[in-house]
């Protein structure tokens, strides 16, 4: 053997091993929702002594607890381990251009409370904070007063983000937020741990940790609404890319000689496929509900506009499948309810356009959490952190 591993700093090293083993245990419990100690010994590849000690410590911390399960026809009772919903809390916050949402979650991924509403996009960060801070402070303080420590606040915001500074870069149509040091500001105002992420990515994280992604390691979440964004999960983790632009599916060229987009590119999907894009092409005035009513009424212009919308969607999605090759593409955002009825049709058409050997595995799914997707994904960031570095978060 070349050199003992335990030589530079024995305590730090053992702490690291403990963190790794705890993380392994928590991951296994998350994957299976509930698991017995015996199963853990084999699935986590740790000895029963280690399992007993570490699960004991996690129970002491109230991160996990014991559940009683009745198994088999003889009705034998078994002790299972699962996350403890009774102690820790996580707050998720979504900052939208026109609205916000705050959720309070337990460690089982359940939403205990949610508050949302409209905001004035012209009001900038100060107006936004004035609008949300009472609800945010309230939610946090109430939880803590009742003896529930809040692990932190995870925030979804319009990207792109300067991750090194925890600041917004230059989000289009979001006056006053360019360069705003959101993470530091929220940490100052709440006194707690804050993580921020692009809201397409938080939406993907909600799926990864609490939705479809529990059983899927590679997925792309596409959020369609005022804009079109994408969050890419590869091997279980978010991929951000070099400039934080990975997954900018709204800015792939769909119409080769199309119009110049705000991003600088030409013929992007977003300006023709988003809600404003659809309403602009329709030209009928009014809202998506009006447009949908016209489609239902069989108005030929509205029908053509919907057909084009689906053709753009299909083209974008086949590119997503051929470029990322995810197991599932999840569709969400404010636009989705208006096109939900076409999902199966679009999936079939995509299957016909994908490599024959892979087409039967192609999956297109609706998002799991509707309007709360991004806020729940904000909370998921803290949950992921707890599962990766439990010792750090709990000490």
46 binds a second copy (CB under 8 A): yes
DSSP state of 355: -
What residues between 192 and 221 interact with a second copy by CB under 8 A?
218
CA 357 to chain centre: 30
Note the residue count of the chain: 395
- Within a 13 Å sphere around the CA of 284, how many CA atoms are in the beta-carbon half? 21
What residues between 86 and 125 interact with a second copy by CB under 8 A?
none
- Is-contact 347 317, C-beta < 8 A? no
361 binds a second copy (CB under 8 A): yes
Determine which residue in the list 32, 114, 359, 371 makes contact with a second copy, applying CB under 8 A: 359
* Alpha carbon distance 96, 292 (integer Å): 24
353 binds a second copy (CB under 8 A): yes
Determine which residue in the list 150, 155, 157, 169 makes contact with a second copy, applying CB under 8 A: 169
103: helix, strand or coil: strand
Tell which residue, 90, 70, 82, has the closest CA to residue 28: 82
- Whether the CA torsion 334, 325, 362, 353 is positive or negative: it is positive
* Alpha carbon distance 254, 376 (integer Å): 31
| Minimum distance from residue 153 beta carbon to a second copy (Å) | 26
What residues between 271 and 330 interact with a second copy by CB under 8 A?
311, 315, 318-327
Determine which residue in the list 123, 255, 310, 346 makes contact with a second copy, applying CB under 8 A: 255
Q: Could you give the string, one character per residue 124-163, with x where binding to a second copy holds by CB under 8 A and - elsewhere?
A: ------------------------------------x---
When the beta carbons of 15 and 36 are compared against a second copy, the nearer one is: 15
Tell which residue, 219, 242, 243, has the closest CA to residue 231: 219
| Minimum distance from residue 71 beta carbon to a second copy (Å) | 26
The DSSP-derived string for 266-335 is BSBSHHHHSHHHHHHHH---S-HHHHHHHHHTT-HHHHHHHHHHHHHHHHHHHHHHHHH--SEEEEESTT
246 binds a second copy (CB under 8 A): yes
| Minimum distance from residue 148 beta carbon to a second copy (Å) | 24
Q: 132 Cβ partners below 8 Å, 6+ apart?
A: 93, 100, 102, 119
How many residues bind a second copy, per CB under 8 A? 72
Determine which residue in the list 117, 149, 241, 366 makes contact with a second copy, applying CB under 8 A: 241
| Minimum distance from residue 316 beta carbon to a second copy (Å) | 9
Span interacting with a second copy, options 7-15, 116-124, 132-140, 371-379, rule CB under 8 A: 7-15
The DSSP-derived string for 195-231 is EEEEHHHHHHHHHHHHSGGGG-S-EEEEEESSSEEEE
When the beta carbons of 96 and 390 are compared against a second copy, the nearer one is: 390
234 binds a second copy (CB under 8 A): yes
DSSP state of 241: -
Span interacting with a second copy, options 90-98, 191-199, 234-242, 284-292, rule CB under 8 A: 234-242
When the beta carbons of 130 and 352 are compared against a second copy, the nearer one is: 352
| Minimum distance from residue 161 beta carbon to a second copy (Å) | 11
* Alpha carbon distance 172, 113 (integer Å): 31
When the beta carbons of 249 and 380 are compared against a second copy, the nearer one is: 249
| Minimum distance from residue 113 beta carbon to a second copy (Å) | 34
What residues between 47 and 76 interact with a second copy by CB under 8 A?
47, 49-54, 56-57
When the beta carbons of 267 and 284 are compared against a second copy, the nearer one is: 267
**Backbone phi, psi, residue 383, to 5°:** -65, -45
Instruction: Show the tokens assigned to 351.
Output: 């299957």
Determine which residue in the list 38, 69, 130, 245 makes contact with a second copy, applying CB under 8 A: 245
């Amino acid at each position: 053997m070349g050199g003992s591993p335990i030589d530079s700093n024995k305590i730090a090293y053992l702490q690291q091993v403990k963190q790794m083993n705890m993380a392994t245990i928590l991951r296994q419990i998350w994957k299976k929702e509930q698991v017995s100690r015996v199963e853990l010994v084999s699935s986590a590849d740790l000895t029963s002594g280690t399992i007993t000690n570490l699960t004991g410590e996690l129970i002491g911390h109230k991160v996990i607890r014991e559940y009683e399960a009745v198994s088999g026809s003889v009705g034998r009772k078994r002790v299972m381990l699962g996350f403890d919903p009774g102690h820790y809390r996580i707050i998720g916050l979504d900052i939208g251009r026109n609205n916000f949402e705050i959720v309070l979650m337990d460690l089982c991924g359940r939403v205990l409370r949610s508050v949302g509403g409209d905001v004035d996009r012209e009001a900038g960060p100060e107006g936004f904070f004035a609008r949300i801070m009472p609800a945010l402070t309230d939610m946090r303080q109430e939880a803590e007063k009742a003896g529930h420590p809040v692990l932190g606040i995870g925030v979804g915001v319009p990207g792109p983000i300067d991750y090194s500074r925890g600041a917004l870069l230059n989000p289009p149509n979001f006056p006053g937020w360019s360069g705003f040091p959101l993470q530091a500001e929220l940490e100052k105002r709440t006194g707690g741990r804050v993580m921020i992420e692009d809201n397409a990515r938080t939406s993907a994280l909600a799926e990864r940790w609490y939705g479809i992604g529990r059983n899927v390691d590679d997925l792309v979440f596409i959020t369609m609404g005022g804009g079109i964004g994408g969050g890419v999960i590869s091997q279980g983790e978010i991929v951000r890319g070099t400039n934080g632009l990975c997954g900018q599916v709204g800015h792939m060229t769909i119409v080769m000689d199309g119009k110049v987009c705000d991003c600088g590119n030409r013929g992007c999907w977003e300006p023709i496929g988003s809600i404003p894009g659809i309403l602009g092409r329709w030209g009928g005035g009014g809202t998506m509900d009006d447009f949908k009513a016209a489609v239902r009424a069989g108005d030929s212009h509205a029908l053509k506009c919907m057909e084009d919308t689906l053709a753009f969607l299909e083209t974008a999605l086949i590119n997503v499948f051929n470029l990322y090759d995810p197991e599932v593409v999840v569709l969400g955002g404010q636009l989705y309810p208006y096109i939900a009825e076409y999902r199966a049709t679009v999936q079939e058409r995509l299957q016909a356009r994908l490599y024959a050997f892979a087409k039967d595995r192609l999956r297109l799914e609706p998002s799991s959490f509707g309007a709360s997707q991004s806020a729940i994904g904000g909370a998921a960031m803290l949950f992921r952190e707890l599962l990766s570095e439990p010792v750090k978060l709990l000490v």
